[in-house]
Chains A and B, each alone.
Chain A
């Protein structure tokens, strides 16, 4: 049975193909359209997943859409009514899109999937999130927590998954939203909403959470059970085109920071404060859910589940013993979720195997890579598997920055060794080099380590796997010789790598350890600021040539920057991507 899951029309469109309960392929549209957070119908992603599955639209048995458009529309109309006349700007901007596109989801799907004639099924947004984490988790029974900006009405929900069924018990409803609260602070700190929330998380350790008590007293009314209400006096996201208003600015003593301007202690402290508040809410929710369900396993999804600092605290500070976070926890993961919901819950089918990796995107064999490189006039050497590992590890140990393009692309926002930039974490200058000369991004941004799973607890204060880079742990005191992946508070957002999930990457880190004694490499996404992670050899070669990377490893092909012919481009690529 083939089920296609689709998420789109808000942000991070994606498609996923499920065959007999197993995800054959999943891909975000942005990777193929090269438009960051692309929200359009994922036509390219659909085409890819169907091709990967070796089928056409006519072979599909069902199509699932990740939310209920009419319920969302009802919420929007209710909001316009409740906030009249201030909502006029928002109404005027949103209505044409709804009238033209969002109210016609079935027609659009039918048109895009001709000659498909089967059912189109809709799941609630938070049910899609819940299904996206529970059905791919290794747990037969688990509590589920989903927290994001907003779906239809729900902004957070919890329930229990058992076998092939999920029951959601309770929810928090719009406009009271932890995701939107965090986004409001993201906006106020001068970053892009629905895109740069992770920057606030990265900024937080530089500051002191001095505003927490004030926020809790005045802005967030938080109960012991993790439920909360926001004081909407401070926000404008319910009626306007911005997230916060004058009252919010007055509360924090100034207007929102202008993007790309200097940051001061004030911004650091605000980031630290909202991060602390976010963690506190998630912790209280998790404790309450444990109290209600008495289960020891928790699955999490929704954009807030990408807050790996909060996730780390959930596993350390709540009674939950095991935690599974969907690697594509944001809306893209909804495509996987709705496909599973349709197949497992509605179709009453048994569950497939748990995910052990997130390499669900396109891959390119050596012939395709060589064809591209020859066409581009690139100079390269072809290496064996063993030489790829040996040479790359040596180059990293010698201080080179490597573009690493292997196998299938990752699904979700993190590069996990399929489309990564790798470097030596021992070099204290490497962080600045990568930020300024390779990624062209803000200097405060930390880098993440990939560590051999069997060495993780030796180097980091963690006793569980973090295969999707969604947990933060402290670097152990005796192991602080990896300054480029150690944040100011000695934390690191780590990825644990197993041979089963990624043999070549595992061997590479192992070889690096043999050379240096350190089983850790810097792993950052293969892109520049504002660009979606590279997908094809062409994307990778362009990114390699435009930046100061030293070498590129494309499958079995090793390219050295110095040997490449100059790149001839018609456009200035710096203007190609909107800064996030």
Chain B
């Protein structure tokens, strides 16, 4: 497949996309092009600073939305399960143990091998 054929196939595929997808794609492409243009022609301009601030604000909202979903979907069920099984990962229950010191477990990998890992 040559380049012309590839581009025309891509164009045809895009033309068949639903309207809302086309709008989203056009919007994302525009944002990318504006960002690249600012970086190329006015990386220290006030307009770029304002643009960055605006985009970051939008990003913060989206991050919050996505993290909310991740929190509810991943943390929530595990937490419910832990509560049902009465397990407390933080060992918060008041106790009358003679000591609250816990043994320091050496890493089973050995000191040098363990140091190569972040865990």
Tell me whether A92 and B119 are in contact (CB under 8 A): no
Task: Determine whether B103 belongs to the interface, using a CB cutoff of 8 Å to chain A.
Answer: yes
Task: Scan A50-69; emit 1 where CB is below 8 A from any B CB, else 0.
Answer: 00000000000000000011
Tell me whether B94 and A221 are in contact (CB under 8 A): yes
Task: Determine whether B68 belongs to the interface, using a CB cutoff of 8 Å to chain A.
Answer: yes
B80 — which chain A residues lie within 8 A by C-beta?
84
Quote the shortest CB–CB distance from B54 to chain A (angstroms). Answer: 18
B49 — which chain A residues lie within 8 A by C-beta?
none
Nearest chain-A residue to B87 (Cβ)? A82
Binds A, one of B7-15, B32-40, B109-117: B109-117
Nearest chain-B residue to A103 (Cβ)? B118
Task: Determine whether A81 belongs to the interface, using a CB cutoff of 8 Å to chain B.
Answer: yes
Q: Residue A175 contacts which of B67, B71, B76, B92 (CB distance < 8 angstroms)?
A: B92
Nearest chain-A residue to B89 (Cβ)? A78
Tell me whether A171 and B102 are in contact (CB under 8 A): yes
Task: Determine whether B88 belongs to the interface, using a CB cutoff of 8 Å to chain A.
Answer: yes
Tell me whether A68 and B118 are in contact (CB under 8 A): yes
Quote the shortest CB–CB distance from A408 to chain B (angstroms). Answer: 30
Task: Determine whether B19 belongs to the interface, using a CB cutoff of 8 Å to chain A.
Answer: no
Binds B, one of A225-233, A471-479, A544-552: A225-233
Tell me whether A92 and B71 are in contact (CB under 8 A): yes
Task: Scan B79-102; emit 1 where CB is below 8 A from any A CB, else 0.
Answer: 110100000111110110111111
- Complex-state Cα separation, A503 to B31, whole angstroms: 62
User: Interface size of B by Cβ–Cβ distance < 8 Å?
Assistant: 34
Whether A122 contacts B104 in the complex (CB less than 8 A), given A81-B78, A88-B71, comes out as no
Tell me whether A229 and B118 are in contact (CB under 8 A): no
Whether A174 contacts B90 in the complex (CB less than 8 A), given A80-B75, A88-B71, A157-B104, comes out as yes
A342 — which chain B residues lie within 8 A by C-beta?
115
Tell me whether B101 and A82 are in contact (CB under 8 A): no
Q: Residue B79 contacts which of A82, A170, A175 (CB distance < 8 angstroms)?
A: A82
Task: Determine whether B64 belongs to the interface, using a CB cutoff of 8 Å to chain A.
Answer: yes
Interface centre among A81, A121, A227, A228 (most CB of B within 10 A): A81
- Complex-state Cα separation, A169 to B101, whole angstroms: 9
Task: Determine whether B45 belongs to the interface, using a CB cutoff of 8 Å to chain A.
Answer: no
Whether A346 contacts B98 in the complex (CB less than 8 A), given A74-B119, A85-B76, comes out as no
B63 — which chain A residues lie within 8 A by C-beta?
92, 96
Tell me whether B119 and A346 are in contact (CB under 8 A): no
- Complex-state Cα separation, A161 to B37, whole angstroms: 59
Whether A223 contacts B92 in the complex (CB less than 8 A), given A80-B75, A157-B104, A346-B111, comes out as no
B101 — which chain A residues lie within 8 A by C-beta?
170-172, 225, 227
Task: Scan B34-57; emit 1 where CB is below 8 A from any A CB, else 0.
Answer: 000000000000000000000000
Tell me whether A122 and B76 are in contact (CB under 8 A): no
- In A77-112, the 8 Å CB interface with B consists of 77-85, 87-88, 91-92, 95-96, 105-106
Whether A79 contacts B90 in the complex (CB less than 8 A), given A171-B101, A176-B100, A346-B111, comes out as yes
- Complex-state Cα separation, A105 to B118, whole angstroms: 9
B82 — which chain A residues lie within 8 A by C-beta?
81-82
Whether A229 contacts B89 in the complex (CB less than 8 A), given A91-B71, A157-B104, comes out as no
Tell me whether B103 and A84 are in contact (CB under 8 A): no
B100 — which chain A residues lie within 8 A by C-beta?
172, 176, 221, 223, 227-229
- Complex-state Cα separation, A346 to B79, whole angstroms: 39
- Complex-state Cα separation, A533 to B99, whole angstroms: 41
Task: Determine whether A154 belongs to the interface, using a CB cutoff of 8 Å to chain B.
Answer: yes
Q: Residue A70 contacts which of B89, B95, B118 (CB distance < 8 angstroms)?
A: B118
B92 — which chain A residues lie within 8 A by C-beta?
82, 175, 232
Quote the shortest CB–CB distance from B8 to chain A (angstroms). Answer: 39
- In A171-224, the 8 Å CB interface with B consists of 171-176, 221, 223
Whether A170 contacts B102 in the complex (CB less than 8 A), given A92-B67, A175-B90, comes out as yes
- Complex-state Cα separation, A82 to B111, whole angstroms: 30
Tell me whether A169 and B104 are in contact (CB under 8 A): yes
Nearest chain-B residue to A152 (Cβ)? B119
Task: Scan B55-75; emit 1 where CB is below 8 A from any A CB, else 0.
Answer: 000000001100110110001
B118 — which chain A residues lie within 8 A by C-beta?
68-71, 105-106, 122
B117 — which chain A residues lie within 8 A by C-beta?
68, 70, 122
A223 — which chain B residues lie within 8 A by C-beta?
97-100
Q: Residue B104 contacts which of A77, A92, A159 (CB distance < 8 angstroms)?
A: A159
Interface centre among B67, B78, B100, B115 (most CB of A within 10 A): B115
A168 — which chain B residues lie within 8 A by C-beta?
104
Task: Scan A145-175; emit 1 where CB is below 8 A from any B CB, else 0.
Answer: 0000000001001010000000011111111
Task: Determine whether A123 belongs to the interface, using a CB cutoff of 8 Å to chain B.
Answer: yes
Tell me whether B112 and A346 are in contact (CB under 8 A): yes
Interface centre among B71, B80, B95 (most CB of A within 10 A): B71
Nearest chain-A residue to B92 (Cβ)? A232
- Complex-state Cα separation, A105 to B90, whole angstroms: 26
Whether A70 contacts B119 in the complex (CB less than 8 A), given A170-B104, A175-B92, A176-B100, comes out as yes
- Complex-state Cα separation, A71 to B79, whole angstroms: 19
Quote the shortest CB–CB distance from B118 to chain A (angstroms). Answer: 4
Tell me whether A82 and B99 are in contact (CB under 8 A): no
Task: Determine whether A345 belongs to the interface, using a CB cutoff of 8 Å to chain B.
Answer: yes
Interface centre among B80, B98, B111, B118 (most CB of A within 10 A): B118
Q: Residue A121 contacts which of B75, B76, B116, B119 (CB distance < 8 angstroms)?
A: B116
B68 — which chain A residues lie within 8 A by C-beta?
88, 92
Tell me whether B89 and A173 are in contact (CB under 8 A): no
Nearest chain-B residue to A232 (Cβ)? B92
Interface centre among B64, B70, B94 (most CB of A within 10 A): B94
Tell me whether A346 and B104 are in contact (CB under 8 A): no
Whether A172 contacts B111 in the complex (CB less than 8 A), given A79-B90, A92-B67, A96-B63, comes out as no
A–B complex contacts, Cβ < 8 Å, 6 sampled: A80-B71, A170-B101, A171-B102, A223-B99, A225-B101, A227-B99
Give me 7 other A-B pairs in contact (C-beta within 8 A), A106-B118, A169-B103, A171-B104 excluded: A85-B76, A119-B116, A122-B117, A122-B118, A221-B95, A229-B100, A345-B111
The 3 A-B pairs of least Cβ separation, nearest first, read: A84-B79, A227-B100, A170-B101
